Amino acid sequence: MRRGAGLQGGSSGVVVDGRTDGPNLAVELCGIPLRTPLIPASGTLSKEALGEVEGIYGAMLPKTTTPVARAGNPPPRVAETPAGMVNSIGLQNPGVERFLQDLDAFDIGVPILVSVAGDTVADFGALCERLAEDDRFSAVELNLSCPNVECGGLAFCAGPASVEEVVASCRSAVSGKPILAKLTNEGVVENARAAEGAGADGLTIMNTIPALTVDARARKVLVRGGLSGPAVKPVALRAVYDVSSVVGVPVVGSGGVVSGTDVAEFMLAGATAVQVGTASFVRDPREILDEFAAYLQEVGLGASELTGALRDIRPTMTGGRADDILTR
């Protein structure tokens, strides 16, 4: 790869905010300027690990907060699977008041997005009202798809009606700040339409996929939780691709991103920004950003030009029209 002047120096070797002749990594998400399209997936970056991430992410996204503290699920909570892991953390968090006390720790000079979850629609609404008073964050992500809690969680993605109800409730509670609905893969297109219709400004696609690991020797369930990691990437890509072709709001891709090429694939499939989660446990995410910058340099595009920029005709269930095929 040719290394331009703009790629020299600096810890990650990339240029942000469109300066000089290096690749332009900046994107805009729901009106929020991001200096890179990478966002840590909620629940995958602790404040203890923030020292290592300067310059990598375009926005910060701490672990989901709930109205009151949650102890989380009993261990074992994680199990490795081929090219991934299953977790069942159960939204362990200190509750929204403590969360807001600690929020400054997540201020690393980029916009902060806040992930919220509740057991009920009323919980979501109340949480959003509480957050609406705080001006330290730029947007809210509604976690409508946690597979590891007894109440709420995935149930909010049971169908368009429940998605619509909870998004509408949050929409009226938080005026003036974008809200993103984080959806599960199951039924994602209908749920995405419902979220958009209820006023969501963006969508995060997707959460972990419900999964199970079994210890055959002990004859026990090891972890019943959600699968993440590269194993889920094709599923997430398909969901991002299908959703972004039917909604007008921006989509944040999430699921199995471990490389700069993965970031590019999600953006080409329609994502405006991309979340890095489990990968940050096994790699320095700076390498992912560097690889992505190298990709942009190679193709001669800026990050924001990548969204939906696939060259081929979108394949359809009917095989496409004859004139589409002839133009290939």
**Residue 146 among the catalytic residues:** yes
Size of the site for another protein (CB under 8 A): 38
In sequence order, what are the beta bridge partners of 227? 86, 209
User: Shortest Cβ distance from residue 288 to another protein (Å)?
Assistant: 10
Asked whether position 149 contacts another protein by CB under 8 A, the answer is: no
Helix (H) or strand (E) segment spanning residue 27: strand 27-29
* One residue of 34, 89, 274, 294 binding another protein per CB under 8 A: 89
User: Shortest Cβ distance from residue 207 to another protein (Å)?
Assistant: 15
Q: Which member of 30, 146, 157, 170 is catalytic?
A: 146
Task: Please give the single-letter amino acid code of residue 67.
Answer: P
Rg, the chain, Cα only? 19
Asked whether position 92 contacts another protein by CB under 8 A, the answer is: yes
Asked whether position 46 contacts another protein by CB under 8 A, the answer is: yes
Distance CA(74)–CA(221), nearest Å, equals 13
* One residue of 6, 111, 229, 250 binding another protein per CB under 8 A: 229
Nearer to another protein, 21 or 97 (CB): 97
Binding piece for another protein, criterion CB under 8 A, among 121-129, 155-163, 236-244, 276-284: 276-284
- Give backbone dihedrals phi and psi of 192, rounded to 5 degrees, phi first: -65, -45
- Long-range contacts from 157-163, C-beta under 8 angstroms, 24+ separation: 157/183, 157/184, 157/186, 157/187, 157/191, 159/187, 159/190, 159/191, 160/187, 160/190, 160/191, 160/193, 160/194, 161/194, 163/191, 163/194, 163/195, 163/198
Binding site for another protein (CB under 8 A): 43-49, 52, 63, 69, 71-72, 74-85, 87, 89, 92, 229-230, 258-259, 278, 280-284, 286
The residues carrying an active-site annotation are 146
